[in-house]
Amino acid sequence: QVQLVESGGGLVQPGGSLRLSCAASEFALRWYTITWFRQAPGKEREAISTIRSMSSSDDGTDYIYSVKGRFTISRDTSENTIYLQMDNLRPEDTARYYCAAGHVRTWYSHLEYDNWGPGTQVTVSS
Closest CA to 118 of 56, 26, 39: 39
pLDDT, mean of residues 81-101 = 97
Long-range CB contacts (within 8 A, 24+) of 16-19:
16/89, 16/124, 17/85, 17/86, 17/87, 17/88, 17/89, 18/86, 18/89, 18/122, 19/83, 19/84, 19/85, 19/86
Q: Output the average pLDDT for the chain.
A: 94
Predicted confidence (pLDDT) at residue 119 exceeds the cutoff of 90 = yes
The pLDDT value recorded for residue 17 is 98
Neighbouring CB atoms inside 10 A of 29's CB total 25
